[in-house]
Amino acid sequence: MEIKVLTDILAANKNAAAEVKSILKGKKIYMIDMMSSPGSGKTTLNDRLIEALKKKYRIAVIEGDIKTTKDAERLARHNIPIFQIETDRFGGDCHLESSWIKRCIEQFDLDNLDLIIVENVGNLVCPAEFQLGDDERMVVLSVTEGEDKPAKYPLMFNTSGTMVLNKIDLLPHLDYSVDELMDNLKKVNPHIRVFQVSAKTGEGLDTLVAHISGNIDKKKNNA
């Protein structure tokens, strides 16, 4: 008997990502893969973004964590479709995989959605390697993590189209150089768009909301 071994897990993930992309293209739904280290503020930012965007757009969320449904519970007040993936049930992976995203989106009412926000597992390494079939890879970095992160974790920053620099309300209390961060970032990815925000105070969020709205509209209007 021949025993078959799945040798290329990234290739399998890529295939499922292409299927997700094709489904979302057919339904003209925009999808964001939001990634960051644990605690950079993804759920806090999501809460703000949903609040601002839900007046105009129909939104669903996929939450990725190793364990607990805490983040899904934090967003439950919005009364939108939310899936929580606990990777602990699939071996405790430190990232989401596209086949899981496919299974989630197949259960959403895709004819009544404009935007899907995926909050990936908090990790600055693994999620970068796994494409999900999204339209926008968004890395969130908070100012308490240091200026060197793009240099130390280049894959995350050079495969993302957008970086959100969060917690800027803390800048007056820190010895932190935004210029130094930008230098490190541009060396790794000169084309990345950057938004400086505070998910706590709301500062800078209007520009980010306008950017996302523009992209949702663009996808809707493309035949």
Ligand X SMILES: Nc1nc2c(ncn2[C@@H]2O[C@H](COP(=O)(O)OP(=O)(O)OP(=O)(O)O)[C@@H](O)[C@H]2O)c(=O)[nH]1
Q: State the residues that interact with ligand X by CB under 6 A.
A: 36, 38-44, 71, 122, 166-167, 169-170, 198-200
Cβ of residue 37: shortest distance to ligand X, in angstroms?
A: 7
Cβ of residue 36: shortest distance to Mg ion, in angstroms?
A: 9
- Choose among ligand X, Mg ion, none what residue 40 binds, the Cβ cut-off being 5 to 8 Å by kind: ligand X
Any contact of residue 43 with Mg ion (CB under 5 A)?
A: yes
- Return the closest-CA partner of residue 132 out of 112, 160, 165, 166: 160
- Return the closest-CA partner of residue 138 out of 33, 39, 48: 33
| Residue closer to ligand X, measured from CB, 63 or 97 | 63
Q: Which residue has the CB atom at the shortest distance from ligand X? A: 122
Cβ of residue 175: shortest distance to ligand X, in angstroms?
A: 16
SS3 assignment, position 173: helix
Cβ of residue 74: shortest distance to ligand X, in angstroms?
A: 8
Residue 164: Cβ-neighbour burial (10 angstroms; 0-12, 13-18, 19+): buried
- Choose among ligand X, Mg ion, none what residue 200 binds, the Cβ cut-off being 5 to 8 Å by kind: ligand X
| Residue closer to ligand X, measured from CB, 73 or 148 | 73
Q: Which residue has the CB atom at the shortest distance from Mg ion? A: 43
SS3 assignment, position 164: strand
Task: State both tokens at 81.
Answer: 């479709």
| Residue closer to ligand X, measured from CB, 16 or 139 | 139
- Return the closest-CA partner of residue 24 out of 116, 107, 159: 116
CA distances from 135 to 21, 44, 98, 102, 201 (A): 8, 21, 13, 14, 27
Cβ of residue 100: shortest distance to Mg ion, in angstroms?
A: 17
C-alpha 218 chain-centroid distance: 19
Any contact of residue 120 with Mg ion (CB under 5 A)?
A: no
Which positions lie near Mg ion, rule CB under 5 A? 42-43, 71
